[in-house]
Amino acid sequence: MKKYIIATTALLVVATSAFSQGLVNFSAGTSVATRMSTNSVVGGPSTGTTAATSGLYYYALFASASQANVNGNTTAISGQNANYVFNNLGTGVPSTGWELVGIGTNWASAGRLFPASQGTSSAGQTALNADNSLTVQGIGGAAVANLVAVGWYSPGIGTDLASLESWYAAGANNGWIGQSAVANLTLGDGGLVVTPNVFGTGAGQVGGFMMGLSVVPEPTTLALAALGGASLLLFRRKK
């Protein structure tokens, strides 16, 4: 009888893990290795951690059960690049592509981030789970998932993924953007399987990453724009 109860309990645990949605934590900066940074020159190295002013930087977390890379890339990138996950979502569902999991932001301590909301679209963001974890829709608890995060400086861009996509599609001028390496983790199930954090130094976790300055308009372009405006004013005055 005792063996029967143990076996039944084990089966129930397996069944719960199989049918529940996976869970993940999305925070960084408690250790130096996981802190976020920026640079000051296009293509240049990091010049320091993100500012200690909350709400300046935003982060979007994506997950996939099938994609182990983003457009063939698994390492961190910054500035303008062809390998950002929001431009390589594939089908947009985790079984065959990448899907948005949630949004994070920085807080008033240099290089840190914490989760702010969860959902699979900009318009569909909702409150975090009671323990501040995020639910990975479409991937079960105790299942393995690949995860990648994109970060950006929000002034001039916006605070949601849709705003970031619009800014990038328009030329990605005058802003900071970067993407983490690809993490590979077993998702929590709310029970026996502990909910992992994307960032860390353990197996499958990734470190902090740099947001690089994107394209800045050439001075000659700005000068031509100014001359064009001046010429138009003169033409109007003559009329």
Query: What is the structure's pLDDT at 219?
Result: 53
pLDDT tens-digit readout, 201-227: 999 999 999 999 998 755 543 343 333
Structure tokens at 41: 């020159």
Task: In whole angstroms, give the CA distance from residue 36 to residue 33.
Answer: 9
| pLDDT for res 239 | 46
Examine the pLDDT at 33 and tell me if it is beyond 60: yes
Which residues sit opposite 208 in a β-bridge?
Answer: none
The mean per-residue pLDDT over the stretch 190-201 comes to 97
The whole-model pTM stands at 0.85
What are the backbone dihedrals phi and psi of residue 229, each rounded to the nearest 5 degrees, phi first? -65, -40
pLDDT band for 7, please (50, 70, 90 cuts): very low
- The pLDDT value given to residue 38: 98
Residue whose token pair is 């994107």: 214
* Widest distance between CA atoms in the chain: 101
| Averaged pLDDT score across all residues of the chain | 87
Averaged pLDDT for residues 157-176? 97
- E-strand ranges in 119-217 read 134-140, 144-153, 176-179, 183-186, 210-213
